[in-house]
Structures are given as C-alpha cells and as structure tokens.
Amino acid sequence: EKLRKTVGEPQSQMLLVPETVSLDKVSAEVLLDNRDEISKIGFDIEEFGDGCVVCSAVPDGIDANDATKVLEEISELLKTGARAKRPDVLSEVMYSVACKAAIKAGQKNSPEELRVLAKRVLCEDDIRYCPHGRPVMIEYTKNELEKKFKRTV
C-alpha cells in the first residue's frame, strides 16, 4: 500500500555501485520500452547494450542484491502482460517489489522496527493482506483465546 501511494513520486535509493543486469535482448527491450512506468515505482535503468541494463536506483526497501531478480520478474510480467491493461501490469510489478521489500520470517529486526510495523498493521485499515492475498494478521475473540489455552470448554 505504501508503494502504491508513492507511484509518480517514488522513494528511491541510489546504488553506490550500479547493478548490471544481464537479460536476453527481448527482456531488456521490454524493460527499456517501459522505463517510464518502471521509474514510477523507483527503479532507474539505462541501456547497457547486448541485452544488458544498468540499474542505478531501486525502490526504497529493496535490497540492492535483489535488483537483478526483481527486474527479471518485472520483465517477465511486462512480456506476458503486454496484451493486458497497463495498470494491471503495474500493479503486478508493485506486488513483486513489495514482496521483495517485505520483512521475512527469520529476518533480524530491532524491537523498535517491529513495534512500528505492528502499530501500522493494527492502525491502518488498508493493511490486511500481503500482495499474494494471505492475511497479515488474524483476530481471536477472548473466548477463542481462552479455549486455545484450555481455560474454558
């Protein structure tokens, strides 16, 4: 949702060392043809030649090490979605980017970072599901919780 709200004015992070992404020529062409759309979510790419693009900025929250994989996924989405509506393809691209930027199980985070995340999930009505449609929280009534701890029958 945060990424969706920043479309058009993306939060990017410049890479200290631009990432060279090697693709087949068609995939590179698709990315370059859609450079304006891709830049709306925070990527900055340039042609490098022979099926390669150089990525000098990624959306805020994306690890630079994930840039290649995300751009490959975006290219595939754009190729297969070429006959679909552009807003739908852009939404799919945002889902992919959001998934890569998400906090993963087992990842080390500071207690403060986790408190801020929990507060956002609990306070913002638009955060209920991950981009894949899985719930990010569940709700138990007091009675259901007591049953789980065998406090009531």
Mean pLDDT in the chain? 81
pLDDT higher than 90, residue 40:
no
The pLDDT of residue 83 = 47
Is pTM beyond 0.75? Reply is: no
Q: Per-residue pLDDT averaged across 123-152, rounded?
A: 84
The pLDDT of residue 47 = 94
Query: Do 137 and 121 contact (CB within 8 A), yes or no?
Result: yes
The pLDDT of residue 78 = 83
Query: Do 24 and 13 contact (CB within 8 A), yes or no?
Result: no
pLDDT higher than 60, residue 82:
no
pLDDT band at 66 (very low <50, low <70, confident <90, very high): confident
The pLDDT of residue 36 = 86
pLDDT higher than 90, residue 57:
yes
Q: Per-residue pLDDT averaged across 4-18, rounded?
A: 75
Query: What's the rounded Cα separation, in Å, for the pair 107 and 129?
Result: 20
The pLDDT of residue 12 = 83
For residue 63, the one-letter residue type is: D
